[in-house]
Chain A
Amino acid sequence: MSTALVTDLTIFVLALLVGIEVIGKVPATLHTPLMSATNSIHGIVLAGALLIGVTAHSVAGYILAFVAAVFASANVVGGYVVTGRMLKMFKRRASVEKASQ
């Protein structure tokens, strides 16, 4: 195994453990927004899709790069906007709560 691979694996395993810990106490109310938030984070795949461009110099490469860029950017932009929309309602709810007190 190369050093690079060992480093990658180490990062992967540690990130897995962080992922398990970080949402440990989330209330059921936030399950849907949380799912949506993690959904937008995997939009990071856009970085990978764009990096295809570094070596893509053929028609097949261009097609793959194009489709991957469309898919990944839809994921990342849509994911953040929809999560923001959901959470905005929670904020409004907090102000309702304040108003009713």
Chain B
Amino acid sequence: MSKFDTSIQLIYVLAAACFVIGLHLMNSPATARRGNQISTIGMVIAGIATLILLIHSRTVTGVGWAVLLVGAAVGSAIGLYSAQTVQMTAMPQLVSMFNSVGGGAAALIAIYEYMHDESLAGGVLGTTTVTAVLDVIIGAVTFSGSIVAAGKLQGMIPGQPLIFKGSRLVNVALAVVAIGTAAFLMTTPSLPALFVMLLAALAFGVMMVLPIGGADMPVVISLLNACTGTAVAMAGFVISNWALIVAGALVGASGGILTKLMADAMNRSLANIIVGGFGTGDSAVAIGPGDSQAQVRSIAADDAAIQLAYASKVIIVPGYGLAAAQAQHGVAELAALLESRGIEVSYAIHPVAGRMPGHMNVLLAEANVPYPQLVEMDEINPEFARTDVALVIGANDVTNPAARRPGTAISGMPILDVDQAKSIIVVKRSMGHGYAGLDNELYVNPKTSMYFADAKRAMSELTAAVKTLVG
């Protein structure tokens, strides 16, 4: 290794250290911002080192520079624009798209190196083949899988599990093609075989995510994030670049741990989610929709406002409905109004409420809800028994008492003990099912009143009604 190469590698190690320290500081809200800044500094250092390497190589052509700089400018503009304009509620989709392009870029690096090496006299080295093949497979699966995941969250692809007859067979066939061509490549360098493998992996990514229900998307996005990291590490092997290897492995491992934490919070195994299809039919539906309609009590804004205004303790249970309706500011206003009347208000945060763990925290933080009011599930569950009104806003499966019984799609998933409250108001647009496709037994509880409205409208109606009521 020349003196120059050594210095560049050392600078890359410095960048990698910044990533590690940055990630470590993400362990606490107090230091998280500094963590992100340090990680950004690491990225800038790595970027500068790469530019120096490019200039020093003296082999980048004029066209090459134009291609790289224009490409980087276009990509940066797209990334900057989408990151600055995205609604907080659409954050998960955007993270998924960034996973997609990251995985795609990693796969392209391997494809390029493979093409380039094959054109050389020495051909493709065995070790390059192994890592390039892994990179292309993981990168391509992440690329197409993440697009499908984002499409599901955006509502462009139906959120419910999509399974057609023989879809499992197609999956197996695609996997066999991908692994088969990969094995073939180990003995015979062949560009066409690499492309066949690429196409099979892309198709497999689509087929892998399509049958997964919307409720599992947070876990899937986290898993795909870890996959992107691994693909980047493989790209690092292909081009022997330490920065890519270290950063990719860091993300692969921490993303894997994060995925496991999320799956644990839903009490589901990763295998179960992937093989999955939440609510695809084998679980018995507890209550027929016809029967439940008869027992459901609906409530008007005025009555709900009376209950809230004369309560002494209210727990708000936010769910995806709140995020979808962008009702975080409305709910914060209602809560502030109730608090000004001396009512104790807190928010019960289920670990997987919304579409990403911590999604509710981010949204409510955006609406300036004081941090101490957000209480995690284990802490708040004993509080429900002392609560006058539990106000459930667009949360469904995480409140369904059916989870306590065996034999349903959500059995064993820890839930919020909303049914322990003295009375329950559920704000929901319709009697529609949650992602698990189950009827929610909470809605037919005699203590429950249903307030059928979009969460944002419901919040402004309730706030107005409470104001008129108490003058």
Contact = CB atoms under 8 A, between A and B. Distances in A.
B64 A16 contact: no
Contacts of A60: 115
B232 A44 contact: yes
Contacts of A74: 75-76, 78-79, 82, 98, 101
Contacts of A37: 22-23, 26, 35-36, 39
A62 B79 CA distance: 21
B94 A78 contact: yes
B269 interface: no
B251 A64 contact: no
A68 to B, nearest CB: 4
Contact of B72 (A18, A50, A61, A79): A50
Interface centre among A33, A57, A64 (most CB of B within 10 A): A33
A91 B33 contact: yes
B433 to A, nearest CB: 25
Contacts of B245: 8, 11-12, 15
Contacts of A77: 75-76, 79-80, 83
A34 B53 CA distance: 31
B358 A82 contact: no
Given A41-B250, A52-B112, A65 B72 contact: no
Given A16-B253, A78-B83, A23 B71 contact: no
A53 B366 CA distance: 42
Nearest to A19: B253
B43 A69 contact: no
A87 B252 CA distance: 22
B253 A17 contact: yes
Contacts, number: 387
A64 B72 contact: no
B24 interface: yes
A94 B34 CA distance: 14
A93 B88 CA distance: 16
B26 A75 contact: no
Interface in B225-239: 225, 228-229, 232-233, 235-237, 239
Contacts of B91: 32, 36, 82, 86
Interface in B365-381: 365-366, 368-372, 374, 376
25 contacts: A1-B127, A19-B250, A19-B252, A22-B20, A23-B254, A32-B356, A32-B361, A32-B362, A33-B26, A38-B250, A40-B43, A41-B250, A49-B108, A53-B60, A53-B64, A54-B54, A65-B64, A65-B67, A73-B74, A77-B83, A78-B78, A79-B98, A86-B88, A93-B29, A96-B368
Given A24-B257, A50-B50, 20 more contacts: A15-B16, A15-B245, A19-B256, A23-B257, A29-B361, A30-B26, A30-B32, A31-B258, A31-B358, A32-B362, A38-B225, A39-B95, A44-B244, A45-B102, A52-B108, A65-B64, A78-B82, A87-B36, A88-B33, A92-B365
Interface of B: 15-16, 19-20, 22-24, 26-30, 32-33, 35-36, 39-40, 43, 46-47, 49-51, 53-54, 57, 59-61, 63-65, 67-68, 70-76, 78-80, 82-84, 86, 88, 91-92, 94-95, 98-99, 101-102, 104-106, 108-109, 111-112, 115-116, 127, 221-222, 225, 228-229, 232-233, 235-237, 239-258, 261-262, 265, 349, 351, 356-359, 361-362, 365-366, 368-372, 374, 376
The 7 closest A-B pairs by CB, nearest first: A19-B253, A78-B79, A69-B71, A73-B75, A15-B249, A77-B79, A81-B83
